[in-house]
Amino acid sequence: MVAVSGPVPGGMLDVLTGFISELRGAGLPVSLTENLDAMEAIQHIPMEDREAFKYALAATLVKSNAHWRAFETVFDVYFSLRGPQWSVDGEDGEASAEAQAAAAEAMADARRQGEGKGGGAMEGLSAEELAEILFKAMMRDDQAMTRAVARESVTRYAGMEPGRPVGGTYYLYRTLRNLDLEGLMKRLMEAAKEEADGGLTPLEERLLKDEYELRIDQLRKEVEAEIRRRLVADRGAEAMAKTLRKPLPENVDFMHATREELVQLRKAVAPLTRKLAVRLARKRRHGRKGPLDFRNTVRHSLSYGGVPAEPKFRYPRPSKPEIMVVADISGSVAAFARFTLHLVHAISSQFSKVRSFVFVDGIDEVTRFFEGVEDITEAIQRVNTEADVIWVDGHSDYGHAFEVFWERWGKEITPKTSVLLLGDARNNYHASQAWIVKEMRKKARHVFWLNPEPKSYWDTGDSIVGEYAAHCDGVFECRNLKQLEGFVEHLA
Amino acid sequence: MTDTKPIAGQTEARFTDIPSVRDALQSVDYLADEGIAGIVYLADRLGKPVLIEGPAGTGKTELAKSVARMTGARLIRLQCYEGLDESKALYEWNYKKQLLRIQAHRVVESEADGAAAAGDGATWQGIEEDIFSDDFLLTRPLLEAIRATDPVVLLIDEVDRVEVETEALLLELLSEYQVSIPELGTVVANQIPLVFLTSNNTRELSEALKRRCLYLHLDYPDLEREKQIVLTRIPDIGDHLADQIVRIVRSLRALELKKHPSVSETLDWARTLVLLGIENIGAEEATSTLHILLKYQSDITKAAKELSVAPNH
Ligand SMILES: Nc1ncnc2c1ncn2[C@@H]1O[C@H](COP(=O)(O)OP(=O)(O)OP(=O)(O)O)[C@@H](O)[C@H]1O
Ligand SMILES: [Mg+2]
């Protein structure tokens, strides 16, 4: 094609192959075409431009923003330790010398007297002096300095030992605890207030705080990167990549999501609902034939000399379903119920009516919490705190909940209603009352059950999902957003 | 009859390196970061289309326009919408003209009466060939881009709005730079144009489409770049005001809102403040103009509160 900057160096091909297989291991769908594109792309990038190298790989290999984080992690592990020529921020080269010089200067600064030997590294500093340097670096937004302090802190506080089978979060925790970030934040704000004569307005204070938070976050990232770098040195890139492997947001299991993952999941739900709404609205238009499409018919008639031999039709609009969601919100399935409620209400325009019920051993209708609110997260919050769902002891009792449901709302199920039952059907050995589901199905258009547990656990221990399944139109495993999305699409 | 031509030689490289792309973009008032410039550069070198995804108002469409401007190319734009089909995207036969042509033929036929009955079939064949020729073809943006002999940039805007099935229309074009028209044959591009597709991510695009493209996620710019954008687009703004504006916007983007302010809204806000003669933003100035930055009342209320009360730390 066009002039090439240079052939891919010998080892590069292997490194890239290893890198891509690691991306696949992390769940990224890299096709053969993309693999080849990446190879070609890096030939056009000057070898010394590490930043461009990273973007070239991302542009050819990562086709979804949700996968960017996974890409970055693998990238860091892979290329931060392939010798200095593969390190993206060049921290082993000049930047490091720069930081050393800055450290020396800051040391002199910290001691005022300037009796420091100059040029030395940070080892000689006391804990207080190190904290002082960090404080100044934060104040001035001195990134090289921040990085140098992060490294020194890991050396001092993390207590890393070769071969020790401890995860990175442990070291991170130990290091950060010693850096006392909260105290640092307080000091920064106080210094800023002192500096501003006439004091800070609330707005100014807010903006400053946001700025410092970002800087402290940067420090946290530097510490994390440093720990990772040392772990890779100790254990090798492949092993590290494996331990750092995390499920992509759409595959995170509802039942075992960490708090951080839950935050990410919540973020992922918003675009998902938008997506679903658009797609469902579109889908509704397809299907059986509707009225004649005049223009299209004329267009096709031309092949028959102007005779409209092949009439064309528009698509009709089928009627929208009504939904009743009945969700177990006890303990471990709560997260799952939350996302499902969220999703169903967010796309409620796709249904002619949505009603929600939540239960543990008692049951309550919560539709009212969603009416007229703009913020579904807030509604969900209210469901969790205000719904009246405890009857006896707060352990799931599907049988009793269904009985009350049937008595109070059963009449309102019509042939237009789709009933969604959500839960793991772990009934604490209470009576199942499965006959109710059978009766529901007689009146409703569909009865579906969504279970957030892996299929292999169904009907083990006190799970009685099989008893209910016998009377449902379908029981679906629904462990992550991807499966949930798939089901909702199927529904509308 | 078909105007099948091979791609004329190989298209010359348009850019020498990544920094020069960045500079050229800046010269047409588009502030790119290294990632953006790098992908534009690669798009040219690899001859591949770029798929740009990201929130509203982050400069997706503007990037394509700016690349056209900086390369002196003509911008051909296909605005996508639900229901867009081949006849609006690629080409359509001018059926009114075709009908007239057929009718003219009939008139001639009936005048000649039964006399030419034997030659009838051959005549119809001639007509059919005639009405499916270039004269009766209406060129739509995609075909236009393929047939262009002058330099063009093709922008396929908001591609996520078309149905998945319609996406298939694009695949041949995006990988082979050619279009097949059953009645005419295959039309091959004279050159490899730079192609940009934008998406607001309202649905997942097909794997097939993504595989053919380089991918760029355009997020909100960082503080420094957004400030440069403001300074560039609004020359008579002061440095201090620009700085305050982008800081406030950044803080708002960190809040949980229904819709975060986009770059275009930052610019609208900045223009308004300049018009109002404001040089320094206090809580008062900020809250009274928030409606320019935010579109939902609940967001405005929330933001007003956050900006006028000191944070607890
Ligand atoms: N990097 C930039 N440099 C200069 N101006 C920019 C930049 N990014 C955005 N803008 C400004 O923001 C405006 C909005 O950008 P644009 O219309 O391209 O957004 P978009 O991402 O296509 O949004 P949408 O998804 O709503 O179509 C542009 O008209 C331009 O003025
Ligand atoms: Mg746009």
A65-122 tens-digit pLDDT: 888 988 988 898 888 655 545 544 444 444 445 555 655 665 555 554 333 333 346 7
For residue A184, pLDDT over 50 is answered with yes
Whether residue B189 contacts residue B7, with contact meaning beta carbons closer than 8 Å, is answered with yes
Whether the pLDDT of residue A376 is over 80: the answer is no
Mutation pick from B202, B287, B298 vs chain A, by most beta carbons of A within 10 Å, is B202
pLDDT tens, residue by residue, B142-177:
999 999 999 999 999 999 988 877 888 899 889 889
Q: How far is CA B149 from the centre of its chain?
A: 20
- Assign A482 to helix, strand or coil: helix
Q: Which of A233-237, A339-343, B22-26, B134-138 has the highest mean pLDDT?
A: B22-26
Which amino acid type is present at position A368?
R
Residue B306 touches chain A, beta carbons under 8 Å: yes
Predicted confidence band at B11 (pLDDT cuts at 50, 70, 90)?
Answer: low
* Residue A49: closest C-alpha in chain B: B18
Q: According to the model, what pLDDT value does residue A152 have?
A: 93
Q: Is A302 on the interface with B (CB under 8 A)?
A: yes
Q: What is the pLDDT of residue A249?
A: 73
Question: Ligand 1: which atom is nearest the Cα of residue B263?
Answer: 12
pTM of the model: 0.75
pLDDT of residue A368: 85
CA distances from A53 to A38, A48, A96, A128, B130 (A): 10, 9, 21, 40, 54
pLDDT band at B109 (very low <50, low <70, confident <90, very high): low
Residue of B nearest to A305 (CA): B102
Question: What's the average model confidence in pLDDT over A431-448?
Answer: 91
Q: What is the pLDDT of residue A49?
A: 86
Asked if B51 and B215 touch (Cβ cutoff 8 Å), the reply is yes
Q: Pick from A55, A206, A377: which is nearest to B34 by CB?
A: A55
B248 touches chain A (CB under 8 A): yes
State yes or no: pLDDT of A300 exceeds 50. yes
Q: Which residue has the tokens 């450290």?
A: A103
State the Rg of chain A over Cα. 30
C-alpha distances (whole Å) from A136 to each of A103, A113, A117, A124, A292 are 11, 17, 20, 18, 75
CA separation, residue B69 to residues A267, B30, B153 (Å): 37, 10, 9
Nearest CA to ligand 1 atom 4: B30
Q: From the CA of B63, give the closest atom in ligand 1.
A: 18
- The complex scores an ipTM of 0.86
The answer, yes or no, to whether residue A313 has pLDDT greater than 70, is no
Three-class SS state of A468: helix
Which helix or strand (DSSP H or E) is residue B181 part of?
A: strand B178-181
In Å, what is the CA distance from B35 to each residue of A68, B10, B22, B59?
A: 13, 26, 10, 14
Q: Tell me which residues have their CB closer than 6 angstroms to ligand 1.
A: B 29-31, 56-62, 198, 200, 229, 233, 263-264, 267
pLDDT surpasses 90 at A185: yes
Look at residue B43 and tell me whether its pLDDT is greater than 80.
Answer: yes
For residue B112, name the pLDDT band (cuts at 50, 70, 90): low
Interface of B with A in 56-115 (CB under 8 A): 82, 87, 92-93, 95, 98-99, 102-103
One of 3.40.1130.10, 3.40.50.300, 3.30.870.10, 3.90.1150.10 is the CATH number of B18-89+140-217, namely: 3.40.50.300
- d(CA B231, CA B173) in angstroms, rounded, equals 39
Q: Is B53 on the interface with A (CB under 8 A)?
A: yes
SS3 content of chain B, % helix, strand, coil (to 5): 55, 15, 35
- pLDDT of A441 strictly over 80: yes
Higher pLDDT pick, A238 / B301? B301
Mean local confidence (pLDDT), A131-139: 94
Q: Pick the residue whose CA is nearest to atom 13 on ligand 1.
A: B264
pLDDT in tens, B52-100: 999 999 999 999 999 999 999 999 999 999 888 888 888 888 778 777 8
Average pLDDT, integer, range A211-231? 90
pLDDT at B1: 40
A380: enclosing H helix or E strand: helix A376-386
pLDDT band at B36 (very low <50, low <70, confident <90, very high): very high
Cα-based distances in Å from A388 to A275, A364, A420, A432, B241: 33, 6, 20, 21, 52
Burial (Cβ within 10 Å: 0-12, 13-18, ≥19) of residue A471 = middle
Report which bound ligand comes closest to the CA of B216. Answer: 1
Task: At A302, list the tokens.
Answer: 């031309």
Count helices and strands (H / E) in chain A.
20, 6
Q: What is the mean pLDDT of residues A223-249?
A: 80
CB B294 within 8 A of CB B269: no
Q: Mark which residues 459-488 of A lie under 8 Å from B by CB.
A: none
Residue A326 three-state SS: strand
- Categorize the per-residue pLDDT at B114 as very low, low, confident or very high, splitting at 50, 70 and 90: low
At residue A268, the pLDDT reads 75
- Higher-confidence residue of B1 and A281: namely A281
| DSSP line for B242-267 | HHHHHHHHHHHHTS--SS---HHHHH
What pLDDT shows up at residue A102? 58
Question: Locate tokens 């529901």: which residue?
Answer: A440
Subunit contact A52:B87, Cβ cutoff 8 A: no
The pLDDT score that the predictor gives to residue A303 is 65
**Whose structure tokens read 């969790």?**
A384
Three-state secondary-structure class, residue A96: helix
Average pLDDT across chain B, whole number: 87
Shortest distance, CA B201 to any CA of chain A (angstroms): 7
Give the mean pLDDT of B186-191. 88
The span from the CA of A268 to the CA of A76, in Å, is 24
Q: What percent of chain A has pLDDT over 90?
A: 27
Question: Which own/partner pairs from B183-186 qualify as long-range (CB within 8 Å, at least 24 positions apart)?
Answer: B183/B93, B183/B132, B184/B1, B184/B2, B184/B3, B184/B132, B184/B133, B184/B134, B184/B137, B185/B1, B185/B2, B185/B4, B186/B2, B186/B4
What does the alpha-carbon distance between residue B73 and residue B224 come to, in Å, rounded to a whole number? 30
Residue A314 confidence (pLDDT): 61
Distance, in Å, from the CA atom of B47 to the CA atom of A40, rounded to the nearest integer, reads: 11
Helix then strand count (H, E) for chain B reads 15, 9
